[in-house]
Structure 1
């Protein structure tokens, strides 16, 4: 017996035919965000330095319209190409790194983290906001971190962790800076600050940095979809009067 068709989405949540860009989409929170946006009907462009073919194929098998752009956000030309692929209805910057690459000096590692986590979002968001403002509507979500709020969930005095927390604090400030300059032009810029999330990135980081279980009041880490849905919501007209906010999705690890 065939299943009854799903009821239509409420209009404010319906992204049917809306072009949406998601960076960092190959895995973790980015992949979950793309999957949530696909369920809302978005026409997706996915960007990542990693292979996007598995996600693209999975989403297309479910009827989603998907385009993949593989590249390095440290390359200005790649960022410029993503900006120029407008028009964008929404943009979710989920791409991020925790620490430098193997073999980098501490200074190189610091610059690497700041470039991916702060400089690339500045370049992308500033350009995309301008295009959205010309059309009078747009939604931008930048993913920060609870570490940018409270210094992180580990007591270890790691310079890697310091750079990461500082970079995510910079993302939160960028949200507020962009919001003040965009909201009057019809573009809403917000952030989402995850706590500890069970992603491939976290699993790698947890091999070298100890996280205090007492810092998780909910008693567990989040699953990626528990961040994907709040991010997706902020990409819709359901967030039509929210601007400059950094939404804390951390199971109560930061309250303020």
Structure 2
């Protein structure tokens, strides 16, 4: 496969969660590959900063304030992206939140908040993007963000893990339904990645959390946001034109059978 398979020149992409972490790294990388990127986030200042960084480096980007739990906002974003360029080629559903609580201490409000963002927010993005791609005849790529939490049980991660597992089922099901339109749907399930989400720990706490991940990884390290962004780029590009309904696990090998 020639390197031009990763060229996104002339294509339009939406990245949710673009203000920081994996979302920001993905937006920057897709723009470097030539795409016009719509950077969306609940943190509108952060989305603006990402878009500004892209344009300052010669790329094309537009910032958007977005609450992914509001279907009408997601629909409006997708419609605006289509109106600006007449097409939508890539939908990267990366926005998500973390919550930790023991099963017996999990409240309805906790479950609803995580489910609404981490699953329903992804569902809305998938639905609205697929509808536009079908209507305009674009053989596009939809990428969802799952998690290594789907592969194992972990104390405190019921809400988060359940929502991310549901994203996998959404990904596989949608792939079977839109494949006849030439639309591909794949998920990325990262291992431990250094982002603002993991930076909620103190330095000492983060080191304690990362230490077992480093030990379990054959590569001897945890991930960086750019590692995951490259996985998204691969799935967004023609380099993965025969890949759909798959779960890509950039996790440093921690879930690999020994």
Per the TM superposition, whether the score is higher than 0.5 is yes
| More helix per residue | 2
5+ residue gaps, structure 1, are 1-8
RMSD of the alignment, in Å?
Answer: 2.0
Equivalence for 2:53: 58
Q: Using the TM superposition, give the Cα deviation of residue 211 of structure 1 relative to its aligned residue in structure 2, in angstroms.
A: 3.1
Equivalent runs, 1:213-252 vs 2, <5 Å? 213-215=211-213, 216-217=216-217, 218-252=219-253
The secondary structure found in structure 1 opposite 2:223 is coil
TM-score (norm 1): 0.87
Q: Using the TM superposition, give the Cα deviation of residue 233 of structure 1 relative to its aligned residue in structure 2, in angstroms.
A: 1.3
Q: Using the TM superposition, give the Cα deviation of residue 43 of structure 1 relative to its aligned residue in structure 2, in angstroms.
A: 0.4
- 1:23 equivalent in alignment to 2:16: yes
Q: Is the 8 A contact 1:14 1:41 kept in 2?
A: yes
2:143 to 141, 144, 154: 141
The secondary structure found in structure 2 opposite 1:77 is helix
Q: Is the 8 A contact 1:213 1:219 kept in 2?
A: no
Equivalent runs, 1:1-20 vs 2, <5 Å? 10-20=3-13
2:160 to 142, 147, 164: 164
Rounded to whole Å, the distance in 1 between the matches of 2:201 and 2:152 is 18
TM-score (norm 2): 0.86
Rounded to whole Å, the distance in 2 between the matches of 1:236 and 1:229 is 10
Equivalent runs, 1:168-187 vs 2, <5 Å? 168-187=164-183
1:156-189 Cα shifts (integer Å, max 9, x gaps): x32xx11101111111111101100011110000
Q: Is the 8 A contact 1:73 1:79 kept in 2?
A: yes
Equivalence for 1:151: 153
Q: Using the TM superposition, give the Cα deviation of residue 227 of structure 1 relative to its aligned residue in structure 2, in angstroms.
A: 0.6
- 1:93 equivalent in alignment to 2:93: yes
